[in-house]
Amino acid sequence: MAKTAFLFAGQGAQYIGMGKELYEYFPICKQTFEEANESLHMDLTSLVFEGRKEDLDLTENTQPAVVTMSIAAFRALSQYNITPDVVAGLSLGEYSALTASEVFTLSQVVPLVRKRGRFMQEAVPEGIGKMCAVLGLSEDKIREACLEAKAFGIVEPANFNCPGQIVIGGERKAVDEAARLAKEKGAMKTLDLSVSAPFHTSMLKPAADKLKLELKPMILGRINTALISNVNASYITNSDEVKDLLYLQVMSSVLWEQSIRNMIDNGVRNFVEIGPGKTLSSFVKKIDRGLGIYNVEDLASLEATAKALKAVI
């Protein structure tokens, strides 16, 4: 039988008003936002529904906001008795996936990702690092370009999103040089990303070290749903592995394409993106157009997805 995966959105997809319909329609979703407010000692709900975009876009606000909205959407879909065979999330989304799998509780994870956001923001001062998407070039050639640009500073592959889209990150001059070399090697296009730091590179080690201290005393639940890690694109079999993987995840490449391919190899044919936006859906489409791809971020998409999945699973 075809399996179903739930994929959880990462940072960058947030918008003011995300999750509002679900909050108003499902008591469980309202409860989710209230639980997040309580655990953060702040009114996250007002910030997400009627705040200023520039405040929501601060990494330390974005991260708890996206996780809260994603878990609300996940709980709304659960009302239809639809459950995943496997979960995964892109970068920040991995924390939503871990919460859906019951490794974290919501009141544990929301303050944790707020701190993670702050640590990531503080790790590299504004203007020192950058990230750039390279389109239409093979992994080998991108690694080559990064190696050749090393003379200009740190530059590394940060995200393997889908065929023909790899993000590099590091120190500004080195990233610019690697992007120039990538074009020389045949890249169709390079695109600077508007992010505050070179996420998922070795420059984020100070953030990873601080996160490690936060994770150390936490008591984690057992894995309830199969889960794939960003760091190695493999299934996490034991929640004892989670802390080390989350430590590494901050400063390691996100192996997203490899994670999706692993799921496909394991019989997953339906992919449901949960949380704001449809970025992950577009990545999955580029990996394999023959899959069932759905999303849940508001009432219309929730009802359409629930209806479609009832017919195929």
| 208 pLDDT more than 90 | yes
Give the Cα separation of 208 and 212 in Å (integer): 6
| pLDDT of 196 above 80 | no
In sign, the C-alpha dihedral spanning 62, 68, 72, 73 is positive
Give the model's pLDDT for residue 166.
Answer: 98
Percent of the chain surpassing pLDDT 70: 100
3-state secondary structure of 254: strand
In this prediction, residue 304 carries a pLDDT of 98
Average pLDDT, the chain: 97
For residue 177, the model assigns a pLDDT of: 98
Catalytic residue among 91, 101, 239, 301: 91
Domains in the chain: ranges and CATH: 3-122+203-312 (3.40.366.10), 129-195 (3.30.70.250)
Residue 229 is a catalytic residue: no
- Contact of 14 with 97, CB cutoff 8 Å: no
Q: Taking residues 177-201, what's their average pLDDT?
A: 95
Query: Which tokens sit at 200?
Result: 């998922």
pLDDT on residue 128: 95
Do 169 and 201 meet the contact criterion of CB atoms below 8 Å apart? Answer: yes
How confident is the model over 84-100, as pLDDT tens digits? 999 999 999 999 999 99
Q: Is 41 a catalytic residue?
A: no
pLDDT at residue 195 in the model = 81
C-alpha–C-alpha distance, residues 99 and 290, integer Å? 29
Catalytic option among 101, 200, 229, 252: 200
What digits encode the pLDDT tens for the residues 262-313?
999 999 999 999 999 999 999 999 999 999 999 999 999 999 999 999 988 7
